[in-house]
Chain A
Amino acid sequence: MSFVLARPEPMRAALPAARGPWTRALFDALQEPPGAAIALPEVAAIDLLADDDLQLALYCCYELHYAGLAGVDERWEWDPALLRFRAEMEGRFERALCATVPTTRPEETLNVGETLQTLVAEDDGPPLSRFAETQASREQMLEHVTHRSAYQLKEADPHSWAIPRLRGAPKAALLEVQFDEYGGGRAERMHSALFAGTMRALGLDATYGAYLGRLPGITLAGVNLMSYFGLHRRRRGALVGHLAAFEMTSSTPNRRYGNALRRLGYGQDATLFYDEHVEADAVHENIAAWDLAGGLATAEPDVAADIVFGARALLALESRWAAHLLDAWRAGRSSLLHPFVVSTDG
């Protein structure tokens, strides 16, 4: 068929191995041209936010809207059967989020910029970046970067879904941040390109999606959260709140991750991504919290509560993800589904 590529493009992730009923049903369907129904599996996920199977299936559904999937017919992106299948997973994801993230209190919507500052200041997630800076081994830093590749190789893309959905000052604020994320007009300064540089400097494969099969559900859930907010216009508030909280919790941890790589003997080719983020996000966090999130709450008071929800959802999932890494490392285990066998040639 002419629309199936003979050779996978480098930018497209290949479908990894199925992990359970959700990925089996989806991946079987994606091998074929669209048209047939996708049977919904009858499973009750116990811990949905960390469900390796469902989160990978959802990630792959969303990937159809970003880069596409290698060998998969591009028409699947808007196939009604796939969208129904995705909606079922999203419903479960949304219910799990609502069970985890507290409802926004009315008084928290009065000054959203201030509320975000308070949320971030009170966030007591596990000290992953401090651990990395002071103790993490080379193998653990490779794992950390591998987890992050699920988002960072398409950094800023999920939040760009908000651009056509905003107007006026908040839109200008979002674009001020995004322009910088995309390298300020220089492709080689795009944050996704800087991250690929870090991966290569660490000896990792920077091919888009190369490690998808190794990533656990909790890692994929963090990216699915952005895609879910981004692909549903009604969640534009949550998407903006997510971006604001992301930027507000970025500068200091990125300095620590840069220090971690320096401590392990890596050079500037490895640390540039992190060093750049210390400086960039010190600018972005102010614009995102006050001009973007605060501005949107003023322009559209109806979505103010969802802005706060999006920020809380980010902090909650980041906290669970950090705990997953630290728990695994403290127990002497790999935090990936399939650990690397690390060579020592450095």
Chain B
Amino acid sequence: MDPSDLVTVTPYRDGPYVIRGPFRMFDQAGNEIPVHRTAIALCRCGRSRMRPFCDGTHRTFSFRAPSDPEAWPPTDACRQADGSTGLSQTARRPGAPVPSGNTTPEASPPPDETGADEASEHSDDPRALLAVLTRVHQARAQLEHALTPPLAAGAYTKLALAEPLLQAADRLLESIVAGTLSHERAASHGHNPVGTHDLDACRAVVQAALRSMPASPPEDRRVAHLRSLLEHATEALA
């Protein structure tokens, strides 16, 4: 067969697998999955709402994955790089339960504070930092998920107040992952670290987002939780 007739599969960086046909798709019971176009995108982040196809959701939570193969077996350097991918993976379950806790943030500290404290004390320890980030990422993913499906207008208005927090969490996660891991990733994957954020600028964004939140305590526990985690994370970076 002429190699140019073969189907190609391209993992796009931070995005889906693009399959260029001609090809047919079947589910495991043998039912054909209709394909309407010559090239399709298959979900790689796991959070699409029309799996197996990509619907662009990876953009809403800063999914990270290289286009070229990740190094295997991992070296010390790229174990950190894997950590950033794993971070996205751990937080991606849309149905993950919201951490239990009181509905008002000041009534009792969120259950995750131990991780934040650990990072405050050892902020130069990348593993402790990653623990904080994982929690921020999970809280962010839960909030994002709560914002996505059609909601009653009242609930939406309440949750939409957290929009600056979501953006701040994105900046924080991207900045720290880029700041702590870009050199290792650049070395192991040949990525260009141009475009990564400066940590100071990121802290300023997060603090501005926290300041822009209404003075009265947010009613939604997911909002309160994310706010609390962000506050701890910025302290850990200070």
Show the binding face of A for B, using Cβ within 8 Å: 107-108, 110-111, 113-115, 117-118, 120-122, 124, 127, 130, 133-135, 176, 179-180, 184, 189, 248, 250-252, 255, 259, 262-263, 278-283, 285-287, 290
Contact = CB atoms under 8 A, between A and B. Distances in A.
A127 B55 contact: no
Contacts of B37: 180, 184, 279-280, 283
A180 B39 contact: yes
B111 interface: no
Contacts of B39: 176, 180, 283, 287
B207 interface: no
Given A120-B59, A282-B53, 17 more contacts: A111-B192, A114-B195, A130-B147, A134-B156, A179-B38, A180-B37, A184-B36, A184-B38, A189-B36, A251-B54, A279-B40, A279-B53, A280-B37, A282-B55, A285-B56, A286-B41, A287-B39
B160 A127 contact: yes
A114 B196 CA distance: 10
A286 B16 contact: yes
B41 A282 contact: yes
A212 B163 CA distance: 34
A250 B56 contact: yes
Counting contact residues on chain B (CB < 8 A from A), the size range is 35 or more
A149 to B, nearest CB: 23
Nearest to A177: B39
Prevailing SS type, chain A contact patch: helix
B153 A114 contact: no
Given A110-B192, A180-B39, A184-B38, A278 B56 contact: yes
Interface stretch (B7-15, B126-134, B228-236): B7-15
B151 interface: yes
Contact of A282 (B10, B54, B163, B194): B54
Contacts of A115: 194-195
Nearest to A123: B167
B90 interface: no
Nearest to B59: A252
A111 B18 contact: no
Contacts of B152: 134
Contacts of B12: 286, 290
A250 to B, nearest CB: 7
B192 A281 contact: no
Nearest to B167: A124
A262 B14 CA distance: 30
Contacts of A110: 192, 194
A176 B37 CA distance: 11
A53 to B, nearest CB: 35
Task: Give 8 nearest A-B pairs by CB, closest first.
Answer: A251-B56, A286-B12, A282-B54, A134-B156, A282-B41, A283-B41, A111-B192, A118-B195
A244 B216 CA distance: 41
B160 A290 contact: no
Nearest to B16: A282
A281 B156 contact: no
A121 B56 contact: no
Looking at A130, A279, A281, which has the most chain B CB atoms within 10 Å of its CB?
A: A279
Contacts of A135: 153, 156
Contact of A114 (B36, B40, B192): B192
Nearest to B196: A118
Given A130-B147, A133-B150, A283-B41, A290 B56 contact: no
A121 B150 contact: no
Contacts of B53: 279, 282
B112 interface: no
Nearest to B10: A286
Contacts of B67: 290
A172 to B, nearest CB: 11
Contacts of B10: 286
B151 A134 contact: yes
Nearest to A176: B39
25 contacts: A107-B194, A108-B195, A110-B192, A115-B194, A117-B13, A117-B14, A118-B195, A121-B59, A121-B170, A122-B171, A127-B160, A130-B160, A134-B151, A180-B37, A250-B56, A252-B60, A279-B50, A279-B53, A282-B55, A282-B56, A283-B39, A285-B15, A285-B56, A286-B15, A286-B16
B82 interface: no
Contact of B174 (A121, A176, A189): A121
Contacts of A122: 171
B104 interface: no
Interface in B30-45: 36-41
Contacts of B89: none
A255 B151 contact: no
B180 interface: no
Nearest to A110: B194
Contact of A283 (B40, B57, B147, B153): B40
A107 B67 CA distance: 22
Interface string B48-82: 01100111110110100001000000000000000
